[in-house]
């Protein structure tokens, strides 16, 4: 944060390299030694809070800092303050979905499949691309009131709508749905929250496909 504020004058970065990968993989590969350490430790804080709680707290902290950091750095990507306020509201809901995905899905397969842990962390990393790229508000601004200006404005709105839908399909709800269905049908893990969020991801994917189709039809009609 200090480097971004002082050296980059408020311009944020175009990528995120999450250190949570190191933490999750270390915890997965060293669970036995962690348990022995906590059992032998005389420090009450370490003994009363398990490693999963610490990792969950760091996941939560990361997402909160991403949102607060985006709020404090409104210059990134040429986003206006109005667009930023809309973006932050979207990010709050997005962060909640991402947190639930990693905390619940990892706990479902962590003890049975090392490869699936990598897949889940990869999908989680992909979902974080939304925070620095903010595709849903990226636009080309035009103040021209002529027919060409109106056509550009129409294309801008279409571009924003399409990017928003594609972002959900390819970066968040689509991959989340695939992972959750894999956990259900391949690993035979079934519980209430997993089913609920799988249905939620499925509905979002279907609705985005429907919206994408309607948007395309409306745009073709407007040209005709």
Q: Using 50, 70 and 90 to split pLDDT, how confident is the model at 44?
A: very low
Three-class secondary structure assignment of 41-54: CCCHHHHHCCHHHH
- pTM for this structure? 0.77
Regarding predicted confidence, which is higher, 131 or 176? 176
What's the confidence (pLDDT) of residue 14? 53
Chain CA centroid to CA 15, Å: 13
Instruction: Please choose, from the candidates 4, 17, 1, 132, the residue with its C-alpha nearest in 3D space to the C-alpha of residue 77.
Output: 132
Tens of pLDDT along 149-160?
A: 566 667 777 777
Q: Using 50, 70 and 90 to split pLDDT, how confident is the model at 97?
A: very high
What's the confidence (pLDDT) of residue 178? 96
Regarding predicted confidence, which is higher, 26 or 180? 180
d(CA 21, CA 110): 14
Point out the least confidently predicted range of 22-31, 62-71, 115-124, 209-218: 22-31
Tens of pLDDT along 62-74?
A: 888 888 877 876 5
Instruction: Please choose, from the candidates 155, 204, 145, the residue with its C-alpha nearest in 3D space to the C-alpha of residue 175.
Output: 204
Report the run of H or E that residue 66 belongs to, with start and end.
helix 51-72
Percent with pLDDT over 90 in the chain = 25
Question: In the structure encoding, which two tokens stand for residue 100, read together?
Answer: 């639930």
Report the run of H or E that residue 132 belongs to, with start and end.
helix 130-133
């Amino acid at each position: 944060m200090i480097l971004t504020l002082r050296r980059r004058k408020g311009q944020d970065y175009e990528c995120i390299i999450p250190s949570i990968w190191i933490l999750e993989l270390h915890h997965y590969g060293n669970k036995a030694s962690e348990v022995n350490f906590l059992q032998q430790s005389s420090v009450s804080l370490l003994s009363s809070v398990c490693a999963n709680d610490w990792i969950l707290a760091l996941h939560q902290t990361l997402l909160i800092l991403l949102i607060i950091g985006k709020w404090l750095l409104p210059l990134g990507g040429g986003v206006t303050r109005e667009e930023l306020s809309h973006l932050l509201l979207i990010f709050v809901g997005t962060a909640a979905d991402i947190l639930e995905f990693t905390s619940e899905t990892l706990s479902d397969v962590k003890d049975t499949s090392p490869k699936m842990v990598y897949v889940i962390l990869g999908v989680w990393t992909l979902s974080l691309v939304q925070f620095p790229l903010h595709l849903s508000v990226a636009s080309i601004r035009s103040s021209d009131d002529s027919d060409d200006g109106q056509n550009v404005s129409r294309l801008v709105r279409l571009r924003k709508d399409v990017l928003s839908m594609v972002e959900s399909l390819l970066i968040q709800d689509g991959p989340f749905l695939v992972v959750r269905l894999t956990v259900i049908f391949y690993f035979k893990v079934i519980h209430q929250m997993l089913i609920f969020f799988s249905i939620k991801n499925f509905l979002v994917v279907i609705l985005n496909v429907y919206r994408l189709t309607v948007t395309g039809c409306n745009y073709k009609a407007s040209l005709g």
